[in-house]
Each structure stands twice: as C-alpha cells, then as structure tokens.
Chain A
Amino acid sequence: MKKGFKFYIALWGAKVGTILLKLLRRNATFFPGKFALKVCPDFIKKIDKPKTIIAVTGTNGKTTVCNMIEDVLKDNNHDFIDNKYGSNIDAGIITTLINGSNIMGKSKKDLAVLEVDERSSPKIYPYLTPTYLVCNNLFRDSMMRNAHTEYISSLLTKYIPKDTILILNGDDLIASNLAPENKRIYFGIDKLDTDGETCENIAKDIVVCPKCNTKLEYDYVRYNHIGRAHCPKCDFKSPKIDYLVTNLDLNNKKMILQNEEKEEEYDLISDNIINIYNILTTIVVLKQMGLSSNQINESLKKQKIVDTRYSEEVVDNIKIITHLSKGMNPIACSRVFDYVRKYKGNKVVILLLDDLHEAVNGSENIAWQYDTDYEFLNDESIKQIIIAGARYLDGYVRLLIAGVDKEKIVYKRDEIAAIDYLKLDGIDTVFILHDLYAMELKETAKKKVEVMVRNRG
C-alpha cells in the first residue's frame, strides 16, 4: 500500500514527539498517536502491523488478562508490542504501533497484544484485523459511554473483521453471540456448587431469546447473565464449550481444564471467580499461541494480581485487603461486594467509590449505584460500612435502601477523616474498596487503617 507524504510526516513527527515527551518525563502513550491521526486520518490503515495480533476486549478484566498474557509470553521469551502502559482507544493503539515500527513504518515485531476499548471498535477494526479477538464478558458498564450491552455487542458484531478468530466466554450469552459468522473458540467453567437456579443480581441483560423473544430458561445462573441457558421454543442456547474447567478446587487453588477429552491441571493465583475467568481466558489464548500447559502454568504460578487491583496484608492479626471496585461499573462493583460478603470472618468495608474527576468538575450521575448490588453488603458478617467521598449522602441512602442497618453505617464527606470511626473489635478483615482513579487515596486510607490497627487497645 502506498503510504504517502502525510503518513511519513505523521510517523516521524510522532516518533520525535515520543522522544521529546520521554525527555520531559511525560507519558508518551497517547499523544503521539493522536498527533499521527490528526496529520494522517487513515494512519492506522497505512501503518504496517505485526503478523499476529491478539486483541482483548470486553467489559471487565481486559487489563488483567492482557497483563497475564504479556507476563507469560515474556517469561517464555516471546517478543511483542503491547499497550500495557498506554491508552486502549485508537490513539493509544496507534502509539503502540508507532513504537513498534521502524522509521519507514515497518513493524519491528511479529506479535502484538492489544487491549482494545469496545467503544473504539469502529475506529480500529476496519483497519486492523486481530488474529484473535478475546472477549471475556459483556456487561452493563458506564451508561454514559457504553449505554447498554445491546449497543456494545451490536457495535462489536458490526466491526469485528470476518477473518478474526474469536475466543469467547461461552458462559456469557451476550459475549458468546458476538459476530456469529466468525470462527470461534469457547471457554467456560462447568456447573459449580455455588451456582443457583435464579439470578440474585439487579442487572440481567439477556432474559429473552434474541431470536424469538421467548423467556429464556436458565439451566443455572452463576451471576448476572453468566451461566447456561436455552430457549424453550427455538434452537437458541448456550454454546458447546471447547475449553471447559471441569473441576474447580478453590481449597487447593487448582483447576482441571478439559479440551478434546484431554485434561490439564492448572494452579490458580486467585480464588475470586472473576479472576478465575481471567486466568482461564489467558490460558486459552496462550494455548492458541502454541504454548504448552507446562509453560503456561509455570509462568502463571509466578504471577499475582497487580497491587493496583488487589492487595492484602496482615497487620497484628487483622487482614487489610484493598480491592479495585470500579465506580460507575455496576457489575465490577457487584462482583466485589459478593466477594466481600462471602469472605470468611467478620469484616469492615470502607467504600471509596466516587469518581474523583466528577467530584471536582461536576456532579456524578449516581444511577449506576442502583444497578449495583449494594444489597450484598447487607450481610451479618459485615459489621461496619464506612462510606466517604463527594457522594456520601447518596451512598448512605443507597445502603439504607439496600436494607443495611443505620447503626452499621458511617457516612462522611472526608474520606480519610471517616476512617477515624473504624471499629476493629472482633474484626478479622478490613476491606478498602476503591475506584480506579483513587489509587493515591487508597494508599493513604490503607496507611491510616494500618496505624489504627497497630494502635488499637
């Protein structure tokens, strides 16, 4: 393809810009791509791409899955480009491609691992064909960007290139029906003892058959629309799983994965079902890339979920757990609330979920709180809930509507001052649940909790 003058100006300008930004110790993961797009709007079409591209999309777990894929590949001496430290929208993807190319715009590496924002599909997939497109789940996300799952799944189906092989969660009836004409590989987890017959979550995004509108019958529900279902009237049903976890042993943190009657054992680095899906997704992608189960497992065993997402430490016999709980993302928060309530022992929960940008520049649309299962926090084992931040009054009302006893709730504007009210008598674990953009706040809160634990009488 003839690239043209504009392309080279964009490429070289972006490369010079990257060097300058790095010299200034600025983040060079977005603006070079933005510059290139401005100079040459079809830049993404023209730049050479690696032969193999793994794209990871979906509502929750994109970053974790990408991190794990990248770490295992690196551990096994694979060379690749990625947008680990960059943006997952078009400008970030372009920046990654620019960094991975020489001055003539030729790709220096044969493999790319790219996290791709679902909403950016129209700007990316017409010009970049992933070899594999991975989708772990499609849930309600920020209503302001993503509206609803029907919108996002339609967008993906419309723009996913027909030659892309899909790696999909077969337990997710929305994700598993993406781009139905494409080749696909399904992964899933067999029925668990904890699965139910009915859904106890607020958000249920596929309740009727997309083919004939008949109410679907769920064989079992894991959470939200995750589970297996069939239409009683037509042939619509959950797909046959290619990679199936047949035995999930949470006590020993191991799982058996079955593929074409062959069974393999893997270690689990987390007992949280969300992360188990992330691990499973990672394994299936890496197996498609030709890595052996031994290579994958030995590398995965060395990993841990990054501290920005999850951390735990024990201070004077009290465990302090920080857990990312993405605000405005109802399912991510609900999964964390479910994890907290089921965690053994007595707990205090500190909720720092407000969007700090909105708190400074506007007023957060709190509708997402009412798609989120705050009811899970109404649990006997949760002895105190501290809710703090700009939306503390709204959070208080939400907890009361969820049935939480007033006596259990501390609600304050100042996030750190609120922790003064922490009651540690008989408590085994303090959970600090925080938004993605509240890392500094989370650290300050954690330090204060540590001090209070050490100083308790």
Chain B
Amino acid sequence: MKIEILFPELCNLFGDMYNMKYLKMCLPEAEFVNTALDEVPVFTKENVNMIYLGPMTEKTQEKVIERLLPYKSRIEELIEKNVVFLFTGNSIEVLGKYIENEDGSKIEAVGIFDVYSKRDMMHRHNSYLVGKYEEIEIVGFKSQFTMMYGDNSDSYFVEVEKGIGINKESKLEGIQKNNFIGTYLLGPLLILNPLFTKKIIGKMGAEAKVALEEETMSAYEARLKELKKL
C-alpha cells in the first residue's frame, strides 16, 4: 500500500501532518511517500492508494496550483478510478475553478471541481462542525479566510448539523466525488474522527481498524457530546 503526501514541507499548517502520522500508526506496513514541491508527484507515474494534501498559505496555493495544473487529467483519472484523496483545510481550493481576492482579481486554479472560493483576508472565520458523512458523525474545526461557492449539492462531504458548509449560507461541507474527499475541516481530522479514519482505511482496501482505538474513541465521544450541547 502506498500513500503519497503532497508537498509536506509547505502544506503542513495547523497540525494536519499528524493525520498522516496517525495513519502510519494505523497502517504500519504501508509505504508513505513525501513529495516535495520541486519533485514530480508519484501519482503521475504509478498507482498509489491514497493522496493527501494539507493546508497551506495563500502564496503556496499559487505554487501548488502551478505544480498540479499539468496533471489535471491524471488527477481526474485517479478520481474516476476510486483512488482515495484527502485534501484538508484550504487545499481543496486549488482544485476549484479559481480563487478570488478582495480586489476582484482571480487566481485560476486547477479546475477539476465546479466551485470557486473568495478570500477575505481581514476576517478569519473560526467555527466547529458536527455533521454526517454517510452513517458516521463527523466532528471538526474550521479556521479560514475563504469561503467556497458553487453547487456541491450532489458532491458534498458532510451534511452539517452544527456549523457551516462550504460558506456561511451552506449546510453542505466540502466536496466528495467517488473516493475523493476535500474539506475545510483542518487539524488532526483523522485523530478526532476514528470512525471516519476506519472508513478511509477500508476504502483503501485495508482492514478497517485504527491505532489507539479506545483512547481516540473516548475523546471523539466526549467532543461529540460537548459540541452537540453548544
């Protein structure tokens, strides 16, 4: 099993890299490949079981778009082939149509999904989220300058119970297409959601079990209860 982490030297904000460290604890036999921004991604040449991209700064988004743009059709092909993708925080924006600055200028993005995002750099949105992904309750946190717009009603990741979706008017969070999952949720998403992590592992064809199951489940259940009360 091969898991490719894209550009971890830059796309590593908010503790998100621990999603991969935790996954490594769950899948000790799996091979984790770190691909730097100046390297050709492994997924372009061979099959991988999962591709991960974490949150990044706004300038880095532009570099990542430039890097991934030549591989647009390959990414689309892998999504069609049901390869697992997990894009967290603002990384999902790089696969949208464009990112719009406050002055109206636009950064053209890779354009795989029919959505776009708008920046508001003087107002940071912070919130928590409780919602449903298939039969699983998801908990998580958002901290972002951007909101996403477009119709994700047929391709959302989480139906939100508490919190916001891709923008303040939406109750549908993130993008899901086949096994591609992109979400504004950030931080240690897989550690916070052991049931979801099991699901991801299952989608990769491995035995659906997680490391530190008892401990992560206790923390998950406590948070779920706490967030539902708010």
Q: Which residues of A contact B (CB under 8 A)?
A: 122, 140, 143-145, 147-148, 150-151, 202, 204, 207-208, 213-215, 330, 362-363, 365-372, 393-394, 396-397, 400-401
Contacts and interface: CB of A to CB of B under 8 A. Distances in A.
Nearest to A406: B215
B69 interface: no
B17 A365 contact: no
A367 B124 contact: no
B226 interface: yes
Nearest to A359: B226
Contact of B215 (A330, A368, A400): A400
Given A213-B63, A370-B187, A397-B219, A363 B14 contact: no
Contacts of B10: 207-208
Contacts of A363: 128, 223, 226-227, 230
B153 interface: no
A147 B145 CA distance: 9
A163 B63 CA distance: 33
Interface residues of B, number: 42
A265 to B, nearest CB: 41
A145 B125 CA distance: 9
B122 A147 contact: no
B126 A397 contact: no
B143 A397 contact: no
B59 A150 contact: yes
A143 B14 CA distance: 7
A213 B25 contact: no
A204 B9 CA distance: 8
A83 B93 CA distance: 41
A377 B122 CA distance: 36
B186 A393 contact: no
A393 B218 contact: yes
A213 B37 contact: yes
Interface of B: 9-10, 13-18, 21-22, 25, 36-38, 57-60, 63, 121-122, 124, 126, 128, 141, 143, 145, 186-188, 191-192, 212, 215-216, 218-219, 222-223, 226-227, 230
Contact of A362 (B63, B218, B222, B230): B230
Given A208-B10, A215-B36, A393-B215, A371 B124 contact: no
A371 B141 CA distance: 15
A368 B141 CA distance: 11
Contact of A215 (B14, B21, B38, B126): B38
A371 B17 CA distance: 9
24 contacts: A143-B14, A144-B126, A144-B143, A150-B57, A150-B58, A150-B59, A208-B9, A213-B37, A213-B38, A213-B63, A214-B38, A362-B128, A363-B223, A366-B188, A367-B143, A367-B187, A368-B15, A369-B188, A370-B15, A370-B188, A394-B223, A401-B21, A401-B25, A401-B191
Main secondary structure of the interface of A (DSSP, over half): helix
Given A150-B58, A370-B17, A371-B14, 8 more contacts: A122-B122, A143-B13, A147-B124, A150-B60, A213-B38, A393-B219, A397-B191, A401-B18
A396 B59 CA distance: 35
Nearest to B55: A148
Contacts of B122: 122
B36 A397 contact: no
A88 B36 CA distance: 39
Given A208-B37, A397-B212, A369 B15 contact: yes
A397 B222 CA distance: 13
Nearest to B230: A362
Q: Specify which of A145, A150, A367 lies most central, judged by the most chain B CB atoms within 10 Å of its CB.
A: A367
Sort A-B residue pairs by CB-CB distance and give the 7 closest, nearest first.
Answer: A370-B15, A367-B187, A393-B219, A370-B18, A150-B57, A365-B141, A144-B126
Contact of B17 (A150, A202, A207, A366): A202
Q: Specify which of A143, A207, A330 lies most central, judged by the most chain B CB atoms within 10 Å of its CB.
A: A143
B221 to A, nearest CB: 9
Nearest to A214: B38
Contacts of B59: 150
A127 B203 CA distance: 57
A410 to B, nearest CB: 14
B219 A365 contact: no
A369 B17 CA distance: 12
Contacts of A207: 9-10
Contacts of A372: 15
Contacts of B18: 370, 401
A393 B222 contact: yes
